Every structure is written in structure tokens, then in C-alpha cells.
A = this chain, B = another copy of it.
């Protein structure tokens, strides 16, 4: 079946090599050779990983002479993060008083637009 961009973003992030490539790209654009250098892996393997990242919208690419530079595109990460924010209120539901206070605060934040909760 056709995969969505969310599918592809999470699948892309599931591989540690690809996460490392993204990490490297936070330091600036880089050619395939530069990206491949730290890895005990062939150049075509890195090219494949880059293709996956591009398919997920996580990088864009451009030519400079014979080299092809990858550029980080973090917008899909924003969308993936927003997806996971749905679960924020399930994080750390118990344990110490700080956690409880934070959970309570987050509950209030979520309902701040119209729900008045003056007692409990």
C-alpha cells in the first residue's frame, strides 16, 4: 500500500545510520563523500540512505560541481513531533510530586480555553 509521509518519516528515523546523517547535517550541508566518511559502509549504501531521507522529505539536495550536497529539511520532524504531542498527557502520569504537579499543569494547559476547574 502507499505509505504516508508520517510512515516514511518514522521509518527513516528508525535507522541509526540515518539519524546520524541527520545529526551531521545539523552542522551544515555536506556531500555524499563527506557524509559517508565516518561510516564503515560503502558509498552506495549511504546514497541509499540519503534517498530514503529525501523520500521522507527530511533532506533536499543540490549540485555543486560533481558533488551533490544534502540539506536538512526539518519540517517533517515538526509534523512528527506534533503527532506525538497527542500523547503528552500520558507521559509520567505518576510518581513524585514534581511529576504530579507537571501533569496537573499540562492538564490545565490543554483545557485553558474554556474549561474552568476550580476544585477537585
A91 contacts B78, C-beta separation under 8 Å: yes
Residue from B11, B15, B75 in contact with A92 in the complex, judged by beta carbons closer than 8 Å: B75
Q: Write the residues of chain A forming the contact surface with B, with a CB cutoff of 8 angstroms.
A: 4, 6-8, 10-11, 13-16, 19, 22-23, 26, 28-30, 64-65, 69, 72, 74-75, 77-78, 80-81, 83-88, 90-93, 106, 109-110, 113-114, 117
Q: Which residue of B lies closest to A62 (CB)?
A: B114
20 contacts between A and B (CB under 8 A): A6-B16, A7-B14, A7-B15, A7-B16, A10-B10, A10-B14, A11-B11, A11-B14, A22-B87, A26-B86, A28-B109, A29-B110, A74-B88, A75-B91, A77-B90, A77-B91, A78-B92, A80-B84, A81-B81, A81-B88
